[in-house]
Amino acid sequence: MGWSFMMVALEQENQMEEQEDQNKKISPSDYGCQVLLEKTTVEEAKDKSFPSDARLIWYIVDEKTQIDLVRCRKMSELFDMYYDKYGPGSVQKIDFGYGTVNPKLWGVKPPEKKKRR
């Protein structure tokens, strides 16, 4: 009787750990966000070919400051995503990106030109 009780307890503990791991896997699309550059530098993010609605976010992971370039509908959703993913005190700063492309036109490929005969 004692052995089966221990097996059930271990199984429940493993299930709880798996649920915690799944909770840490946060999808940007759940928050309406799109990560353009992850763990980048400011120099790489200064590329003007990014959309003008992209934001730079500075956050701390394992006592190291990281920078991401992210598009999001609202700045509050951006903050919520990083807060939920890395915990309280991780988000240090959110600032505008350097992109100049109209967000409606970003990522749209121009139509192919037909060859003249």
Question: What is the 3-class SS of 50-114, one letter each residue?
Answer: CECCEEEEEEEECCEEEEEEEEECCHHHHHHHHHHHHCCCCEEEEEECCCCECCCCCCCCCCCCC
Contact (Cβ atoms closer than 8 angstroms) between residue 94 and residue 54:
no
Residue 77 included in any domain:
yes
Q: Domain limits at 65?
A: 31-102
Residue 10 included in any domain:
no
Across 73-93, average pLDDT: 92
- Decide: pTM greater than 0.85: no
Mind listing the pLDDT tens digit for each residue in 5-27? 555 555 666 555 554 454 457 88
Mind listing the pLDDT tens digit for each residue in 58-67? 999 999 999 9
Rounded CA separation 36/71 (Å): 7
Residue 1 included in any domain:
no
Q: What's the mean per-residue pLDDT of the chain?
A: 84
Residue 86 included in any domain:
yes
Rounded CA separation 52/100 (Å): 5
pLDDT given at position 59: 95
Residue 18 included in any domain:
no
Neighbours of 23 (CB within 10 A): 10
pLDDT given at position 102: 92
Residue 14 included in any domain:
no
Band (pLDDT 50/70/90 cuts) for residue 4 is low
Residue 62 included in any domain:
yes
State the DSSP code for 38: S
pLDDT given at position 112: 85
Across 80-109, average pLDDT: 91
56 φ/ψ angles, rounded to the nearest 5 degrees: -95, 135
Rounded CA separation 53/55 (Å): 7
Whose tokens are 């005190």? That residue is 89
Whose tokens are 């915990």? That residue is 87
Residue 16 included in any domain:
no
- Domains in the chain, number: 1
